[in-house]
Amino acid sequence: MDIQNYKLHKKILVAVDCIIFGFDGSELKALLIKRGFEPERGKWSLMGGFVGEDENADKAALRVLHQLTGMKDVYVEQLHTFTDVNRDTAGRVISIAYFALINIAAHNKQLEQEHESRWFPLDKMPALIFDHKKMVEKAKAMLRQKVATHPVGFELLAKKFTLPQLQNLYEAIYETELDKRNFAKKMLSLGILKKLDEKERESSKKGAFYYVFDTVKYRKMESNALKFI
Amino acid sequence: MDIQNYKLHKKILVAVDCIIFGFDGSELKALLIKRGFEPERGKWSLMGGFVGEDENADKAALRVLHQLTGMKDVYVEQLHTFTDVNRDTAGRVISIAYFALINIAAHNKQLEQEHESRWFPLDKMPALIFDHKKMVEKAKAMLRQKVATHPVGFELLAKKFTLPQLQNLYEAIYETELDKRNFAKKMLSLGILKKLDEKERESSKKGAFYYVFDTVKYRKMESNALKFI
DNA sequence: TCAAAAGTGTTATCTATACACCCATGT
DNA sequence: ACATGGGTGTATAGATAACACTTTTGA
Protein backbone atom coordinates (compact mmCIF):
# COMPACT_ATOMS: atom_id res chain seq x y z
CA MET A 1 0.00 0.00 0.00
CA ASP A 2 1.10 3.51 -0.75
CA ILE A 3 0.46 5.39 2.43
CA GLN A 4 0.50 3.25 5.44
CA ASN A 5 -1.47 5.07 8.04
CA TYR A 6 -5.12 4.27 7.93
CA LYS A 7 -5.90 7.66 9.43
CA LEU A 8 -4.59 9.56 6.46
CA HIS A 9 -7.38 8.27 4.26
CA LYS A 10 -10.84 9.66 3.75
CA LYS A 11 -13.75 7.53 4.76
CA ILE A 12 -16.66 7.08 2.39
CA LEU A 13 -20.37 6.50 2.81
CA VAL A 14 -21.22 2.93 1.87
CA ALA A 15 -24.68 1.96 0.71
CA VAL A 16 -26.37 -1.15 -0.62
CA ASP A 17 -28.94 -1.16 -3.42
CA CYS A 18 -31.13 -4.12 -4.24
CA ILE A 19 -32.36 -5.26 -7.61
CA ILE A 20 -35.40 -7.26 -6.58
CA PHE A 21 -36.67 -9.65 -9.22
CA GLY A 22 -40.10 -11.17 -9.27
CA PHE A 23 -42.09 -13.26 -11.74
CA ASP A 24 -45.83 -12.93 -12.13
CA GLY A 25 -46.34 -16.03 -14.24
CA SER A 26 -45.61 -14.43 -17.55
CA GLU A 27 -43.34 -11.43 -17.08
CA LEU A 28 -40.12 -10.85 -15.22
CA LYS A 29 -40.34 -7.75 -13.07
CA ALA A 30 -38.27 -5.61 -10.75
CA LEU A 31 -39.52 -3.83 -7.65
CA LEU A 32 -38.80 -0.11 -7.57
CA ILE A 33 -39.60 2.58 -5.05
CA LYS A 34 -40.41 6.21 -5.34
CA ARG A 35 -37.58 7.82 -3.49
CA GLY A 36 -38.88 9.59 -0.42
CA PHE A 37 -36.05 11.98 0.32
CA GLU A 38 -33.56 14.32 -1.23
CA PRO A 39 -31.74 14.30 -3.50
CA GLU A 40 -33.95 13.02 -6.34
CA ARG A 41 -37.05 12.78 -4.14
CA GLY A 42 -40.02 11.39 -6.02
CA LYS A 43 -38.02 9.67 -8.71
CA TRP A 44 -37.92 5.94 -9.28
CA SER A 45 -35.07 4.17 -7.60
CA LEU A 46 -33.86 0.82 -6.39
CA MET A 47 -34.45 0.11 -2.73
CA GLY A 48 -31.31 0.82 -0.78
CA GLY A 49 -29.81 1.83 2.51
CA PHE A 50 -26.56 2.63 4.18
CA VAL A 51 -24.32 -0.01 5.67
CA GLY A 52 -24.29 0.42 9.42
CA GLU A 53 -21.33 0.27 11.78
CA ASP A 54 -22.26 -3.10 13.15
CA GLU A 55 -23.33 -4.99 10.06
CA ASN A 56 -21.73 -6.29 6.91
CA ALA A 57 -23.18 -5.52 3.52
CA ASP A 58 -25.06 -8.81 3.21
CA LYS A 59 -26.90 -8.03 6.40
CA ALA A 60 -27.63 -4.51 5.26
CA ALA A 61 -29.11 -5.86 2.04
CA LEU A 62 -31.30 -8.33 3.90
CA ARG A 63 -32.41 -5.63 6.30
CA VAL A 64 -33.37 -3.33 3.46
CA LEU A 65 -35.21 -6.15 1.70
CA HIS A 66 -37.12 -6.96 4.83
CA GLN A 67 -38.16 -3.37 5.21
CA LEU A 68 -39.62 -3.29 1.72
CA THR A 69 -41.10 -6.75 1.40
CA GLY A 70 -41.63 -8.02 4.91
CA MET A 71 -39.73 -11.13 3.91
CA LYS A 72 -36.80 -12.83 5.59
CA ASP A 73 -34.74 -15.67 4.11
CA VAL A 74 -34.67 -14.00 0.75
CA TYR A 75 -32.20 -15.22 -1.84
CA VAL A 76 -29.67 -12.45 -2.29
CA GLU A 77 -26.32 -12.32 -3.90
CA GLN A 78 -23.77 -9.58 -4.18
CA LEU A 79 -23.56 -8.26 -7.70
CA HIS A 80 -21.05 -5.46 -8.09
CA THR A 81 -19.84 -2.38 -6.28
CA PHE A 82 -20.38 0.95 -7.96
CA THR A 83 -17.86 3.54 -6.98
CA ASP A 84 -17.76 6.38 -9.48
CA VAL A 85 -16.86 9.61 -7.76
CA ASN A 86 -19.99 11.50 -8.74
CA ARG A 87 -22.48 8.68 -8.96
CA ASP A 88 -24.55 10.14 -6.11
CA THR A 89 -25.34 13.80 -6.60
CA ALA A 90 -25.35 14.48 -2.88
CA GLY A 91 -21.77 13.46 -2.18
CA ARG A 92 -19.37 10.56 -2.33
CA VAL A 93 -21.25 7.36 -1.75
CA ILE A 94 -20.28 3.96 -3.05
CA SER A 95 -22.97 1.38 -3.45
CA ILE A 96 -22.73 -2.37 -3.21
CA ALA A 97 -25.48 -3.71 -5.45
CA TYR A 98 -27.28 -6.94 -4.60
CA PHE A 99 -29.73 -8.90 -6.59
CA ALA A 100 -32.61 -10.61 -4.88
CA LEU A 101 -35.07 -13.21 -6.11
CA ILE A 102 -38.43 -13.34 -4.42
CA ASN A 103 -41.74 -15.05 -4.87
CA ILE A 104 -43.81 -12.12 -5.98
CA ALA A 105 -46.90 -13.54 -4.31
CA ALA A 106 -45.29 -13.93 -0.91
CA HIS A 107 -44.30 -10.37 -0.25
CA ASN A 108 -46.24 -7.99 1.95
CA LYS A 109 -48.37 -5.80 -0.24
CA GLN A 110 -49.15 -3.35 2.51
CA LEU A 111 -45.52 -2.30 2.59
CA GLU A 112 -45.80 -1.53 -1.11
CA GLN A 113 -48.02 1.41 -0.28
CA GLU A 114 -45.84 2.69 2.51
CA HIS A 115 -42.82 2.82 0.28
CA GLU A 116 -44.70 3.75 -2.85
CA SER A 117 -43.14 0.78 -4.51
CA ARG A 118 -44.22 -0.84 -7.75
CA TRP A 119 -43.32 -3.80 -9.90
CA PHE A 120 -42.12 -2.94 -13.37
CA PRO A 121 -41.66 -5.38 -16.23
CA LEU A 122 -38.00 -5.31 -17.16
CA ASP A 123 -38.73 -3.98 -20.62
CA LYS A 124 -40.89 -1.17 -19.30
CA MET A 125 -38.70 0.33 -16.62
CA PRO A 126 -38.98 4.03 -15.91
CA ALA A 127 -35.95 6.31 -15.72
CA LEU A 128 -33.95 5.57 -12.61
CA ILE A 129 -31.78 7.78 -10.44
CA PHE A 130 -28.00 7.78 -10.42
CA ASP A 131 -26.45 4.65 -11.90
CA HIS A 132 -29.35 2.40 -11.00
CA LYS A 133 -30.08 1.57 -14.61
CA LYS A 134 -26.58 0.16 -14.94
CA MET A 135 -27.19 -1.88 -11.84
CA VAL A 136 -30.37 -3.36 -13.27
CA GLU A 137 -28.65 -4.23 -16.53
CA LYS A 138 -25.87 -5.98 -14.72
CA ALA A 139 -28.33 -7.82 -12.54
CA LYS A 140 -30.22 -9.03 -15.58
CA ALA A 141 -27.03 -10.40 -17.09
CA MET A 142 -26.11 -12.07 -13.83
CA LEU A 143 -29.56 -13.58 -13.45
CA ARG A 144 -29.30 -15.19 -16.87
CA GLN A 145 -25.92 -16.58 -16.15
CA LYS A 146 -26.81 -17.76 -12.67
CA VAL A 147 -30.04 -19.44 -13.59
CA ALA A 148 -28.34 -21.40 -16.38
CA THR A 149 -26.10 -23.22 -13.95
CA HIS A 150 -27.62 -22.99 -10.49
CA PRO A 151 -31.01 -23.92 -9.12
CA VAL A 152 -32.07 -20.43 -8.18
CA GLY A 153 -34.94 -19.91 -10.60
CA PHE A 154 -37.15 -21.69 -8.09
CA GLU A 155 -36.73 -18.73 -5.76
CA LEU A 156 -38.97 -16.78 -8.10
CA LEU A 157 -41.79 -19.31 -7.91
CA ALA A 158 -43.99 -20.66 -5.16
CA LYS A 159 -42.74 -23.78 -3.36
CA LYS A 160 -45.01 -25.86 -5.55
CA PHE A 161 -44.86 -25.07 -9.23
CA THR A 162 -45.77 -26.73 -12.49
CA LEU A 163 -43.49 -27.48 -15.40
CA PRO A 164 -45.30 -24.98 -17.62
CA GLN A 165 -44.76 -22.31 -14.95
CA LEU A 166 -41.08 -23.15 -14.75
CA GLN A 167 -40.79 -23.05 -18.51
CA ASN A 168 -42.53 -19.67 -18.66
CA LEU A 169 -40.00 -18.39 -16.15
CA TYR A 170 -37.04 -19.53 -18.22
CA GLU A 171 -38.63 -18.13 -21.32
CA ALA A 172 -39.08 -14.78 -19.61
CA ILE A 173 -35.52 -14.70 -18.32
CA TYR A 174 -34.00 -15.54 -21.68
CA GLU A 175 -36.61 -13.77 -23.77
CA THR A 176 -36.94 -16.79 -25.95
CA GLU A 177 -39.32 -19.66 -26.62
CA LEU A 178 -38.47 -23.17 -25.58
CA ASP A 179 -39.80 -26.48 -26.78
CA LYS A 180 -41.80 -27.97 -23.94
CA ARG A 181 -40.80 -31.55 -24.69
CA ASN A 182 -37.13 -30.74 -24.62
CA PHE A 183 -37.58 -28.52 -21.61
CA ALA A 184 -39.36 -31.15 -19.56
CA LYS A 185 -36.87 -33.79 -20.59
CA LYS A 186 -33.90 -31.72 -19.48
CA MET A 187 -35.36 -30.43 -16.23
CA LEU A 188 -36.49 -33.87 -15.14
CA SER A 189 -33.19 -35.43 -16.16
CA LEU A 190 -31.38 -33.23 -13.65
CA GLY A 191 -33.01 -35.27 -10.92
CA ILE A 192 -33.75 -32.37 -8.62
CA LEU A 193 -37.50 -32.08 -9.08
CA LYS A 194 -40.00 -34.09 -7.09
CA LYS A 195 -43.39 -34.62 -8.68
CA LEU A 196 -46.39 -34.25 -6.40
CA ASP A 197 -49.71 -36.04 -6.76
CA GLU A 198 -51.50 -32.75 -6.81
CA LYS A 199 -52.47 -30.65 -9.80
CA GLU A 200 -52.71 -26.94 -10.39
CA ARG A 201 -56.08 -26.27 -11.99
CA GLU A 202 -56.24 -22.55 -12.46
CA SER A 203 -54.58 -22.17 -15.78
CA SER A 204 -55.91 -25.16 -17.64
CA LYS A 205 -58.77 -27.59 -17.62
CA LYS A 206 -56.62 -30.64 -17.64
CA GLY A 207 -54.48 -29.33 -14.84
CA ALA A 208 -50.71 -29.57 -14.51
CA PHE A 209 -48.87 -31.55 -11.90
CA TYR A 210 -47.06 -29.67 -9.19
CA TYR A 211 -43.37 -30.20 -8.58
CA VAL A 212 -41.08 -29.12 -5.77
CA PHE A 213 -37.37 -28.51 -5.85
CA ASP A 214 -35.67 -31.37 -4.07
CA THR A 215 -33.04 -29.63 -1.96
CA VAL A 216 -31.87 -32.86 -0.42
CA LYS A 217 -31.11 -34.50 -3.74
CA TYR A 218 -29.43 -31.36 -4.99
CA ARG A 219 -27.10 -31.21 -2.01
CA LYS A 220 -26.15 -34.82 -2.52
CA MET A 221 -24.97 -34.21 -6.05
CA GLU A 222 -21.22 -34.19 -6.12
CA SER A 223 -20.50 -31.82 -8.88
CA ASN A 224 -23.31 -29.30 -8.61
CA ALA A 225 -22.23 -28.31 -12.09
CA LEU A 226 -25.64 -28.46 -13.63
CA LYS A 227 -26.76 -27.17 -16.96
CA PHE A 228 -30.31 -25.93 -16.85
CA ILE A 229 -30.27 -24.51 -20.30
CA MET B 1 -34.05 3.87 2.64
CA ASP B 2 -34.54 3.82 6.34
CA ILE B 3 -32.99 7.02 7.56
CA GLN B 4 -32.91 9.69 5.01
CA ASN B 5 -30.19 12.02 6.01
CA TYR B 6 -26.85 11.03 4.63
CA LYS B 7 -25.15 12.78 7.54
CA LEU B 8 -26.56 10.41 10.10
CA HIS B 9 -24.51 7.53 8.74
CA LYS B 10 -21.00 6.50 9.57
CA LYS B 11 -18.45 6.61 6.82
CA ILE B 12 -16.16 3.68 6.29
CA LEU B 13 -12.62 3.22 4.99
CA VAL B 14 -12.68 1.67 1.54
CA ALA B 15 -9.74 -0.31 0.19
CA VAL B 16 -9.00 -2.34 -2.90
CA ASP B 17 -7.02 -5.58 -2.89
CA CYS B 18 -5.65 -7.22 -6.01
CA ILE B 19 -5.29 -10.88 -6.75
CA ILE B 20 -2.60 -10.79 -9.40
CA PHE B 21 -2.33 -13.90 -11.51
CA GLY B 22 0.65 -14.83 -13.59
CA PHE B 23 1.70 -17.90 -15.55
CA ASP B 24 5.30 -18.99 -15.84
CA GLY B 25 4.79 -21.55 -18.58
CA SER B 26 3.84 -24.40 -16.34
CA GLU B 27 2.39 -23.09 -13.11
CA LEU B 28 -0.29 -20.57 -12.28
CA LYS B 29 0.94 -18.13 -9.68
CA ALA B 30 -0.21 -15.18 -7.61
CA LEU B 31 1.89 -12.18 -6.64
CA LEU B 32 1.98 -11.46 -2.92
CA ILE B 33 3.73 -8.82 -0.88
CA LYS B 34 5.22 -8.79 2.55
CA ARG B 35 3.13 -6.21 4.28
CA GLY B 36 5.28 -3.25 5.23
CA PHE B 37 3.17 -1.63 7.93
CA GLU B 38 1.00 -2.32 10.92
CA PRO B 39 -1.14 -4.16 11.59
CA GLU B 40 0.23 -7.53 10.48
CA ARG B 41 3.54 -6.06 9.31
CA GLY B 42 5.80 -8.67 7.73
CA LYS B 43 3.04 -11.10 6.90
CA TRP B 44 2.08 -12.14 3.39
CA SER B 45 -0.74 -10.17 1.90
CA LEU B 46 -2.38 -9.19 -1.34
CA MET B 47 -1.32 -5.88 -2.75
CA GLY B 48 -3.85 -3.24 -1.85
CA GLY B 49 -4.50 0.38 -1.15
CA PHE B 50 -7.18 2.78 -0.09
CA VAL B 51 -9.64 4.33 -2.51
CA GLY B 52 -8.92 8.04 -2.71
CA GLU B 53 -11.39 10.90 -2.75
CA ASP B 54 -10.93 11.59 -6.42
CA GLU B 55 -10.84 8.11 -7.92
CA ASN B 56 -13.20 5.22 -8.34
CA ALA B 57 -12.25 1.73 -7.28
CA ASP B 58 -11.17 0.61 -10.76
CA LYS B 59 -8.68 3.44 -10.86
CA ALA B 60 -7.45 2.66 -7.39
CA ALA B 61 -6.88 -0.95 -8.41
CA LEU B 62 -4.94 0.07 -11.51
CA ARG B 63 -2.91 2.54 -9.49
CA VAL B 64 -2.00 -0.10 -6.96
CA LEU B 65 -1.11 -2.56 -9.71
CA HIS B 66 1.10 -0.02 -11.36
CA GLN B 67 2.90 0.61 -8.12
CA LEU B 68 3.72 -3.04 -7.73
CA THR B 69 4.37 -4.13 -11.28
CA GLY B 70 5.23 -0.98 -13.21
CA MET B 71 2.58 -1.98 -15.73
CA LYS B 72 -0.30 -0.01 -17.14
CA ASP B 73 -3.15 -1.39 -19.26
CA VAL B 74 -3.44 -4.41 -17.07
CA TYR B 75 -6.52 -6.58 -17.37
CA VAL B 76 -8.44 -6.13 -14.15
CA GLU B 77 -11.94 -7.00 -13.14
CA GLN B 78 -13.86 -6.40 -9.99
CA LEU B 79 -14.38 -9.60 -8.07
CA HIS B 80 -16.31 -9.08 -4.86
CA THR B 81 -16.52 -6.68 -1.98
CA PHE B 82 -15.61 -7.96 1.44
CA THR B 83 -17.35 -6.15 4.24
CA ASP B 84 -17.30 -8.17 7.45
CA VAL B 85 -17.20 -5.89 10.43
CA ASN B 86 -13.97 -7.23 11.87
CA ARG B 87 -12.18 -8.33 8.73
CA ASP B 88 -9.38 -5.80 9.30
CA THR B 89 -7.95 -5.94 12.79
CA ALA B 90 -7.16 -2.22 12.80
CA GLY B 91 -10.69 -0.97 12.34
CA ARG B 92 -13.63 -1.01 10.00
CA VAL B 93 -12.38 -1.27 6.45
CA ILE B 94 -14.24 -2.77 3.54
CA SER B 95 -12.24 -4.06 0.64
CA ILE B 96 -13.20 -4.27 -3.00
CA ALA B 97 -11.22 -7.18 -4.39
CA TYR B 98 -10.00 -7.16 -7.99
CA PHE B 99 -8.38 -9.84 -9.98
CA ALA B 100 -5.69 -9.01 -12.46
CA LEU B 101 -4.08 -11.06 -15.21
CA ILE B 102 -0.59 -10.10 -16.22
CA ASN B 103 2.15 -11.42 -18.39
CA ILE B 104 4.57 -12.53 -15.74
CA ALA B 105 7.55 -11.71 -17.97
CA ALA B 106 6.49 -8.13 -18.61
CA HIS B 107 6.42 -6.84 -15.08
CA ASN B 108 9.14 -4.80 -13.51
CA LYS B 109 11.28 -7.05 -11.38
CA GLN B 110 13.02 -4.24 -9.63
CA LEU B 111 9.76 -3.28 -7.99
CA GLU B 112 9.53 -6.82 -6.67
CA GLN B 113 12.43 -6.08 -4.36
CA GLU B 114 11.10 -2.74 -3.19
CA HIS B 115 7.82 -4.28 -2.14
CA GLU B 116 9.27 -7.57 -1.03
CA SER B 117 6.86 -9.26 -3.36
CA ARG B 118 7.00 -12.83 -4.57
CA TRP B 119 5.16 -15.12 -6.93
CA PHE B 120 3.60 -18.15 -5.26
CA PRO B 121 2.15 -21.14 -7.07
CA LEU B 122 -1.52 -21.30 -6.18
CA ASP B 123 -1.13 -24.61 -4.43
CA LYS B 124 1.75 -23.41 -2.31
CA MET B 125 0.42 -20.17 -0.94
CA PRO B 126 1.59 -19.03 2.48
CA ALA B 127 -0.83 -17.94 5.19
CA LEU B 128 -2.38 -14.61 4.32
CA ILE B 129 -3.65 -11.78 6.47
CA PHE B 130 -7.28 -10.99 7.16
CA ASP B 131 -9.67 -12.53 4.64
CA HIS B 132 -7.19 -12.55 1.79
CA LYS B 133 -7.30 -16.31 1.47
CA LYS B 134 -11.01 -16.10 0.80
CA MET B 135 -10.30 -13.50 -1.85
CA VAL B 136 -7.80 -15.72 -3.57
CA GLU B 137 -10.19 -18.66 -3.55
CA LYS B 138 -12.92 -16.57 -5.06
CA ALA B 139 -10.56 -15.20 -7.67
CA LYS B 140 -9.50 -18.70 -8.64
CA ALA B 141 -13.11 -19.71 -9.16
CA MET B 142 -13.78 -16.58 -11.16
CA LEU B 143 -10.72 -17.10 -13.32
CA ARG B 144 -11.89 -20.58 -14.24
CA GLN B 145 -15.31 -19.38 -15.09
CA LYS B 146 -14.11 -16.36 -16.99
CA VAL B 147 -11.52 -18.11 -19.03
CA ALA B 148 -14.04 -20.72 -20.16
CA THR B 149 -16.18 -18.15 -21.91
CA HIS B 150 -14.07 -15.06 -22.54
CA PRO B 151 -10.78 -14.54 -24.31
CA VAL B 152 -8.85 -13.39 -21.28
CA GLY B 153 -6.40 -16.23 -20.89
CA PHE B 154 -4.21 -14.48 -23.45
CA GLU B 155 -3.59 -11.74 -20.90
CA LEU B 156 -1.42 -14.22 -19.02
CA LEU B 157 0.79 -14.92 -22.02
CA ALA B 158 3.08 -12.86 -24.19
CA LYS B 159 1.51 -11.26 -27.26
CA LYS B 160 2.88 -14.10 -29.34
CA PHE B 161 2.28 -17.55 -27.93
CA THR B 162 2.26 -21.10 -29.17
CA LEU B 163 -0.59 -23.57 -28.98
CA PRO B 164 1.33 -25.77 -26.52
CA GLN B 165 1.82 -22.72 -24.30
CA LEU B 166 -1.87 -21.90 -24.45
CA GLN B 167 -2.75 -25.48 -23.68
CA ASN B 168 -0.39 -25.54 -20.70
CA LEU B 169 -2.14 -22.45 -19.43
CA TYR B 170 -5.58 -24.00 -19.63
CA GLU B 171 -4.28 -27.16 -18.05
CA ALA B 172 -2.85 -25.15 -15.17
CA ILE B 173 -6.04 -23.18 -14.66
CA TYR B 174 -8.25 -26.25 -14.64
CA GLU B 175 -5.73 -28.58 -13.04
CA THR B 176 -6.40 -31.15 -15.68
CA GLU B 177 -4.81 -32.65 -18.79
CA LEU B 178 -6.21 -31.91 -22.19
CA ASP B 179 -5.83 -33.77 -25.46
CA LYS B 180 -3.72 -31.61 -27.75
CA ARG B 181 -5.61 -32.58 -30.90
CA ASN B 182 -8.96 -31.67 -29.42
CA PHE B 183 -7.54 -28.56 -27.85
CA ALA B 184 -6.05 -27.25 -31.07
CA LYS B 185 -9.19 -28.10 -32.99
CA LYS B 186 -11.39 -26.16 -30.62
CA MET B 187 -9.18 -23.14 -30.20
CA LEU B 188 -8.64 -22.75 -33.91
CA SER B 189 -12.32 -23.28 -34.64
CA LEU B 190 -13.18 -20.19 -32.61
CA GLY B 191 -11.56 -18.15 -35.34
CA ILE B 192 -9.87 -15.68 -33.04
CA LEU B 193 -6.28 -16.85 -33.38
CA LYS B 194 -3.99 -15.66 -36.12
CA LYS B 195 -1.11 -17.95 -37.01
CA LEU B 196 2.23 -16.26 -37.59
CA ASP B 197 5.00 -17.48 -39.86
CA GLU B 198 7.39 -17.48 -36.99
CA LYS B 199 8.31 -20.29 -34.66
CA GLU B 200 9.21 -20.46 -31.02
CA ARG B 201 12.36 -22.56 -30.74
CA GLU B 202 13.23 -22.61 -27.08
CA SER B 203 11.18 -25.49 -25.89
CA SER B 204 11.52 -27.91 -28.77
CA LYS B 205 13.71 -28.76 -31.68
CA LYS B 206 10.97 -28.73 -34.22
CA GLY B 207 9.68 -25.41 -32.96
CA ALA B 208 6.07 -24.39 -32.50
CA PHE B 209 4.29 -21.75 -34.52
CA TYR B 210 3.41 -18.53 -32.80
CA TYR B 211 -0.16 -17.27 -32.72
CA VAL B 212 -1.65 -13.95 -31.73
CA PHE B 213 -5.10 -13.21 -30.43
CA ASP B 214 -7.05 -11.51 -33.21
CA THR B 215 -8.86 -8.71 -31.38
CA VAL B 216 -10.41 -7.39 -34.56
CA LYS B 217 -12.05 -10.69 -35.46
CA TYR B 218 -13.20 -11.15 -31.90
CA ARG B 219 -14.91 -7.78 -31.81
CA LYS B 220 -16.68 -8.56 -35.06
CA MET B 221 -18.27 -11.67 -33.66
CA GLU B 222 -21.89 -10.97 -32.91
CA SER B 223 -22.55 -13.24 -30.04
CA ASN B 224 -19.27 -13.19 -28.19
CA ALA B 225 -20.68 -16.22 -26.44
CA LEU B 226 -17.68 -18.43 -26.94
CA LYS B 227 -16.88 -21.70 -25.34
CA PHE B 228 -13.18 -22.13 -24.84
CA ILE B 229 -13.47 -25.28 -22.88
C1' DT C 1 -68.34 -31.65 -28.77
C1' DC C 2 -65.07 -28.43 -28.77
C1' DA C 3 -61.45 -25.50 -27.14
C1' DA C 4 -57.35 -25.09 -24.36
C1' DA C 5 -53.44 -26.46 -22.23
C1' DA C 6 -50.77 -30.77 -20.53
C1' DG C 7 -48.15 -34.53 -21.52
C1' DT C 8 -45.16 -37.51 -24.06
C1' DG C 9 -40.96 -40.20 -27.94
C1' DT C 10 -38.20 -40.47 -31.94
C1' DT C 11 -34.97 -38.90 -35.28
C1' DA C 12 -31.37 -35.93 -37.03
C1' DT C 13 -27.72 -32.98 -36.22
C1' DC C 14 -24.16 -31.14 -33.81
C1' DT C 15 -20.61 -31.30 -30.33
C1' DA C 16 -17.36 -33.65 -27.44
C1' DT C 17 -14.35 -37.27 -26.68
C1' DA C 18 -11.12 -40.88 -27.46
C1' DC C 19 -7.34 -42.27 -29.73
C1' DA C 20 -1.98 -42.97 -32.72
C1' DC C 21 1.15 -41.87 -35.97
C1' DC C 22 4.34 -38.93 -38.69
C1' DC C 23 7.24 -34.60 -38.81
C1' DA C 24 11.13 -31.48 -38.00
C1' DT C 25 15.20 -30.67 -35.85
C1' DG C 26 19.25 -30.43 -32.60
C1' DT C 27 22.40 -33.33 -30.46
C1' DA D 1 20.21 -42.23 -35.72
C1' DC D 2 17.65 -41.03 -32.09
C1' DA D 3 15.20 -38.41 -28.73
C1' DT D 4 12.04 -34.59 -28.10
C1' DG D 5 8.14 -32.13 -28.62
C1' DG D 6 4.89 -30.38 -32.62
C1' DG D 7 1.37 -31.24 -35.63
C1' DT D 8 -2.63 -33.54 -37.57
C1' DG D 9 -7.67 -36.79 -38.74
C1' DT D 10 -11.20 -40.05 -37.86
C1' DA D 11 -14.65 -42.70 -35.55
C1' DT D 12 -17.79 -43.05 -31.61
C1' DA D 13 -20.70 -41.45 -28.10
C1' DG D 14 -23.34 -38.10 -26.07
C1' DA D 15 -26.04 -33.88 -26.08
C1' DT D 16 -28.98 -30.87 -28.22
C1' DA D 17 -32.60 -29.54 -31.40
C1' DA D 18 -36.46 -30.35 -34.31
C1' DC D 19 -40.75 -32.05 -34.70
C1' DA D 20 -46.85 -33.74 -33.88
C1' DC D 21 -50.17 -36.12 -31.87
C1' DT D 22 -53.05 -37.74 -27.83
C1' DT D 23 -55.14 -36.72 -23.26
C1' DT D 24 -58.06 -34.40 -19.98
C1' DT D 25 -61.72 -31.70 -18.73
C1' DG D 26 -64.63 -27.49 -18.13
C1' DA D 27 -67.67 -24.82 -20.59
Domain boundary residue among B149, B173, B199? B149
Q: Looking at the predicted structure, is the pLDDT value of residue A19 above 80?
A: yes
Parallel, antiparallel, or unpaired for β A193-200 and A44-45?
Answer: unpaired
Residue B2: what pLDDT? 45
pLDDT tens digits, residue range B155-169? 999 999 999 999 999
Secondary structure (3-state) at B74: coil
Instruction: Using a pLDDT cut of 70, give the percent of chain A over it.
Output: 97
Among B6, B48, B93, the residue with its CB nearest the CB of A13 is B6
pLDDT tens digits, residue range B209-222? 999 999 999 998 86
Q: Are residues B27 and B123 in the same domain?
A: yes
User: Could you tell me the pLDDT band of residue A103, with boundaries at 50, 70 and 90?
Assistant: very high
Would you say the C-beta of A206 is within 7 Å of strand C? yes
Domain count, chain B: 2
Which letter does DSSP use for residue A52 in this model? P
Domain boundary residue among B100, B125, B149? B149
Residue A225: what pLDDT? 79
Would you say the C-beta of B178 is within 7 Å of strand D? no
Asked if A6 lies within 8 A of B78 by C-beta distance, the reply is no
Q: Are residues A74 and A180 in the same domain?
A: no
In a domain, A225, yes or no: no
Asked if B57 lies within 8 A of A10 by C-beta distance, the reply is no
Beta bridge partners of B32: B118
Q: Which helix (H) or strand (E) holds B32?
A: strand B28-34
Q: Are residues B58 and B113 in the same domain?
A: yes
What average pLDDT does the structure give for chain A? 94
pLDDT tens digits, residue range B172-194? 999 999 999 999 999 999 999 99
What is the C-alpha separation between B229 and B226, in angstroms, rounded?
Answer: 9
In a domain, A228, yes or no: no
Contacts B67 to A, Cβ<8 Å: 2
B227 CA: nearest nucleotide by C1': C15
Of A residues 140-199, those with CB within 7 angstroms of nucleic strand D are 179-182, 185-186
The arithmetic mean of pLDDT across residues B104-119, rounded, is 90
CA within 13 Å, CB half, B218: 17
Burial bucket for residue A184 (CB in 10 Å: 0-12, 13-18, 19+): middle
Residue B186: give its domain's CATH number: 1.10.10.10
Parallel, antiparallel, or unpaired for β B13-23 and B93-101?
Answer: parallel
Domain that holds residue A71: 6-149
Residue A224: what pLDDT? 66
Contacts A174 to B, Cβ<8 Å: none
Q: Are residues A113 and A197 in the same domain?
A: no
Domain boundary residue among A129, A149, A169? A149
Q: Looking at the predicted structure, is the pLDDT value of residue B4 above 80?
A: no
In chain A, alpha helices (H): 57-69, 109-114, 132-149, 163-174, 180-189, 215-220
Do residues B20 and B31 lie in contact, with contact meaning Cβ atoms separated by under 8 Å?
yes
User: Could you tell me the pLDDT band of residue B27, with boundaries at 50, 70 and 90?
Assistant: very high
User: What DSSP string describes A92-127?
Assistant: -EEEEEEEEE--TTTS-HHHHHHTTEEEEEGGGPPP
